[in-house]
Structure 1
Amino acid sequence: MSALIPVILSGGAGTRLWPVSRRAFPKPFIRLANGESLLGRTLKRALAVTDGGEVVTVTGADYRFLTADEYARSTQQDFRSRLLLEPAGRNTAPAIVLAALDIAARHGEDAQLLVLPADHLIDDVDAFVRDVAAARVLAAQGFLVTFGIVPTAPETGFGYIHAGSAVEGGFQIEAFVEKPDLATAEGYVAAGNYFWNAGMFCFSARDLIAAATQVCPDVLAAARACVAVTDASGDVVAFERESFLAQPDISIDYAVMERAQRRAVVPATFGWSDIGSWNALGELTEPDAAGNRVQGQAIVVDGGGNYIQTEGRLVAAVGVSDLVIVDAGDAVLVADRHQVQAVRQVVDTLRQREHYAAQHHLTVHRPWGSYTVLEDADDCKVKRLTVKPGGVLSLQRHQRRSEHWTVVQGVAKVRVGDEDMLLQRNQSTYIPMNTLHRLENPGDSDLHLIETQCGDYFGEDDIERLEDVYGRC
């Protein structure tokens, strides 16, 4: 059988799990109770089934370094990581077709793709491996294969797959069905031949391209045009922006799966959740005797059925029940458990107001590490910077602020103007306005320092980069 190449789709708008998930740090990167991320767990599943030693990840250009850091954190296994970077979101059909063209060019059109969304939670990896093996057999017969989840309830928030006649290891697909009302969903569950659509796929590059040629030639043509003007010579491929944005914004279900001829579904035997709400995430935490589920420091008095998550501060809940309370440090969510899907309306409002909390956390990740805003006032801004070993900030200057740096852990290599120096713990330096400066961590452990900015404006757009090892100039 031809090589299997997992394709991880990673990104998202960060709406349903706000305030922990945000545009600059969406759901695949958030930490579960055990410290793992959804992306990290998806990578481990991919490595459990790949026989080519390669994993392709389609993600936003803004998530390039977050993804690389997460992969390094999640596994010590040696594998080839290939990143296909999107300049903006264009839904799953362009992402998957682009990945198929890329894999076909490098591995041949008989290579099989296993498409895995990065924000799914699957605990039983052994069952996952077995189901992938069944899907590969059908894919080798020319089927476009998806995985169907056996419904456990008449869920109205998922699309369904209507299964038809049996084939080896699964069923042919009669139809894809939109999210139903409750009565219709109850009928689907009672019928026994309907599955939830998990959004995971297995097919050969050849068969996907052939199907796209027939049912969505516009998607395929636009993807080919994008590939033609994109440099794909390295393992980090940044799609050319103009041609990428010319692609239709459409899902793989609408573009291909609903209209293709040879389609099959493999009933999944593994446990699955798309962690689509705070209720779903809360289910991962064991409840107490009153049904309260808590992550972090919380005290509940005379209340039950609550989910509380806090990242440091103590939360006390008195006389309340069936609430979701999430404290992310700079924003707090309080929601009725039965209305958590409306959280996205909060994010919509924040975006309309251009509020930072729709985009960023107090901790912002950068290629060299991260910074956390400790204070943001009209006359000063204070940050704690964490610079990874070998991390180098750009050579830069500011027109409207000066900075003071104080090392609290590690050794800092600093350039201020024409002077280079090493700063040890409890040593500091001053960077006047309009002065070239750069910070580097030459050590083998994280560097921590406090940065105090003084001036009349502290926006990130008051950074003039002259040199940058991460290509941000």
Structure 2
Amino acid sequence: MQNVHPLILCGGIGTRLWPLSRTEHPKQFQRIDGNSETTFFHATVERHRMPGFADPIVAVSSSHVATVMRQLNDLNCPARIIAEPISRNTGPAVLATALDLAETDPAALICVIPSDHIVKGDLTGNVLAARAAAESGHIVLFGVTPEYPETGYGYIVDGGPLDMLDCARKVASFIEKPPVEIATSLIKAGNAYWASGISLFRADVLISEFQRLDPTTYEAVSNAIKLGLQTEHALYLNAEALFSAANLPTESIVFEHSPRTVIAPLQVAWSDVGAWNALHHIAEKDEDGNVLSGDVISIDTCNSYIRSTNKLVAVIGMQDVVVVDTDDALLITTRDQAQQVKQIVKKLETIKRRELAEHARNQMTWGEIRRVQSGPGYELRMMTLRAGSMLPMLEDLTSHRMLTVTSGSGLLKTGVVTRVLHVGDNFEVPPGEATIIYCGPEAE
């Protein structure tokens, strides 16, 4: 059997995981917990690096290409990157990948995988077991046996056995985010699955279904590829052409309307980590039912999720709470109200708080930048450059920048002039001037 091409979708922001997830630094690129450096994206890529799978394809917003490249470099993993200049949900991204692969292999198998889910169990084995169904022309959707009547998930109802194939079953219907009464009845009936967002199909099959069901989007995405820009790092789709594509998920454009769609049950523990309570639900807990992440001390506290980024967090006498501490924001809520974090996000958007968009400390391709202090007319930042890296400081007509070297050494290039940098050196970058810093041993 042929190798499966993992398509890792990196869209979405994950606002209900604020303050970890921000619009400029969404949850898929954040650490899963405070006890390791592994991000959701890292875990997704690594899960499919094994026999039976080709190098991954990553569909991501153009603004996050550098982040994807850095995290792929962390894993020493080659990948094909498809960059989207505007947000158009998953449908156009999946079609673009199918069209790109079909140029050389129309029957290429594509497995669509969200980058921000947690999976425990043999997901790859389940996917490879369904190859026969996909190779025969079916669109395989993977479902998870529901553990409780979740109202935030879509459900797929089992339609019975599939002729000649044991690895998948027919689909009777789709039910999107039902009320708790219907979700409960679906679980009692025992024939419905949570829609995991993971799917498997041939490139040419998906293309033909788009041509049949949404020719406008097919034409738009085809043109976005033809008019796109291929660089050494990524294929950048053309924004003007892509604008005409439907801003919809693949499920609502194709999967829910195609007679080719079948379901394959997954024998894994799965969560889309849509809110903090979901992380508590799927993570390993201590003897008190707590999930403690980072530098945390807990006394007389139970059934809680407590996470610290870089400072000690102490919690006493609490039950069923969520505490998430970052450099510049602290969230405290109860587990049963964790979904209401989206209301905080709306409030932050209304009052235009920067904590909605960015963290005080951010990883960049050249190192790390940390906001130390800010006020009217000024901002103080600490920048740490990796050895051998280059930091371009582009022209800025409004800001006057002063820089001080606190450790390490490097080179400063302004125009045709290059100077050596040492600890204690100060220099300025006047408005409208561009500068490049080359780092020797790690410097700040």
* TM-based fold match above 0.5: yes
Deviation larger for 306-315 or 14-23: 306-315
Aligned residue in 1 for 2:59? 58
CA contact (8 A) 2:405 2:426 kept: no
Q: Distance in 2 between matches of 1:372 and 1:287?
A: 32
Distance in 1 between residues matched to 2:381 and 2:209, nearest whole Å: 52
1:467 aligned residue: none
Following superposition, the deviation at residue 299 of structure 1 comes to 3.7
The amino acid of 2:348's aligned partner reads L
Q: Partner of 2:123 in structure 1? A: 128
Note if contact 1:387-1:440 (Cα within 8 Å) is conserved in structure 2: no
Q: 1:432 to 1:226 in 2, by over 3 A?
A: closer
The answer for the alignment partner of 1:110 in structure 2 is: 107
Counterpart Cα distance in 2 of 1:297 and 1:50: 39
% identical aligned pairs: 28
Q: Of residues 146, 151, 161 in structure 2, which corresponds to 1:151?
A: 146
How much does 1:387 deviate? 1.9
Q: For residues 177 and 170 of structure 2, what CA distance do their matches in structure 1 show?
A: 20
Whether contact under 8 Å (1:330, 1:361) holds in the other structure is yes
- Work out whether residues 87 and 239 of structure 1, in 8 Å CA contact, stay in contact via their aligned partners in 2: yes
The aligned counterpart of 1:176 is: 174
- Please give the alpha-carbon distance, in whole angstroms, between the structure 2 residues aligned to 1:309 and 1:361: 16
Residues 400, 433 of structure 1: 8 Å contact kept: no
Provide the alpha-carbon RMSD of the alignment. 2.2
Deviation at 1:416, TM superposition (A): 4.8
The answer to whether 1:28 aligns with 2:28 is yes
Equivalent residue number for residue 305 of structure 1:
303
For 2:374 and 2:133, the matched residues in 1 are separated by 57
Larger deviation: 286-295 or 127-136?
Answer: 286-295
Q: Deviations over 1:23-76 (max 9, x none)?
A: 11111111023321111111112322554x432110001110100111111x23
Q: Give the residue type in structure 2 aligned to 1:151.
A: P
Query: Which residue of 2 is the match for residue 372 of structure 1?
Result: 370
Gaps of 5+ in 2: none
Partner of 1:41: 43
Counterparts of 1:148 and 1:180, CA distance in 2: 16
After superposition, what is the alpha-carbon deviation per residue over 1:271-315, rounded to whole angstroms, capped at 9, x for unaligned?
222111111223455444443332233344444332211212333
The equivalent of 2:190 in structure 1 is: 192
Q: Report the Cα offset of residue 395 of structure 1.
A: 5.0
For the residues of structure 1 that align with 2:159 and 2:317, how far apart are their CA atoms?
Answer: 51
Give, as a single letter, the amino acid of the residue that structure 1 aligns with 2:137: G
Deviations 1:234-268 (A, max 9, x none): 55111111111221111111100110011111111
| Residue identity matched to 1:66 | T
Deviates more, 1:295-304 or 1:250-259: 295-304
Contact 2:2 2:52 in 1 (8 A): no
The reply on whether 1:261 has 2:259 as its aligned counterpart is yes
| 1:397 positional shift | 4.5
Aligned partners of 1:416 and 1:431 also within 8 Å = no
TM (norm. structure 1) is: 0.87
Q: Secondary structure at the match of 2:257?
A: coil
How many Å apart are 1:6 and its aligned residue? 1.3
Question: Contact 1:163/1:171 (CA < 8 Å) preserved in 2?
Answer: yes
Deviation at 1:155, TM superposition (A): 2.0
Normalising by structure 2, what TM-score?
Answer: 0.92
Letter in 2 for 1:244: L
Map Cα deviations across residues 426-448 of structure 1 (whole Å, 9 max, x no partner): 331221533735243343x5x33
Shifted more, 278-287 versus 218-227: the winner is: 278-287
Kindly tell me the number of residue pairs found equivalent between the two proteins. 439
Q: Aligned pair in 2 of structure 1 residues 398, 4: CA closer, same or farther (>3 Å)? A: closer
